[in-house]
Amino acid sequence: MRLLLDTHALVWWWTDDPRLPAAARVAIANPVGVVFVSAATAWEIATKHRLGKWPEVARLIAEYASLLRRSRFQALPIGMEHALRAGGLPGPHRDPFDRMLIAQAGLESLPVITADPVFAAYGVPVIWNDGLGAGE
């Protein structure tokens, strides 16, 4: 299975956070699967850390490339088609990081591991969604 991690899912995987449920862990750990991490995720983590909203991710930022390799996750660059789709998405949702992940998931046919209900609202297949939001 190919899948895309939402930002909180990636951080919770790397920090072994108990908020990441068993179903998500199983999907991520599947040895025959391919897990993608968007460039938008790195951007979001660095931005929230810079703004003081996520101070605990400093180590993750410093070790980001190494953690991706060790986790055997694939980087998903942001392409022109992704940018055009994200910018053109309808609706009131204003989070640019979510909009990019929604666009990438749709264009690349990737289900998303997320707790955020906005992805399903845009018709993106979701592996996990507790309907409570991510609380990042």
Please give the CATH superfamily to which domain 2-128 belongs.
5'-nuclease (3.40.50.1010)
Q: In what order do the strands lie in the sheet with 74-76?
A: 74-76, 34-38, 2-5, 112-113, 126-128
What is the chain's pLDDT, residue by residue, as a tens digit (136 residues)? 999 999 999 999 999 999 999 999 999 999 999 999 999 999 999 999 999 999 999 999 999 999 999 999 999 999 999 999 999 999 888 899 999 999 999 999 999 999 999 999 999 999 986 655 444 4
Q: Which amino acid type is present at position 58?
A: A
For residue 136, what pLDDT is reported? 47
For residue 128, what pLDDT is reported? 87
Instruction: Give the Cα separation of 32 and 133 in Å (integer).
Output: 29
Residue pLDDT, tens place only, 30-57: 999 999 999 999 999 999 999 999 999 9
Angle at 129 between CA 68 and CA 96, to 5 degrees: 60
For residue 10, what pLDDT is reported? 98
* Domain boundary assignment for the chain: 2-128
Q: Which residue carries 């299975």 as its tokens?
A: 1
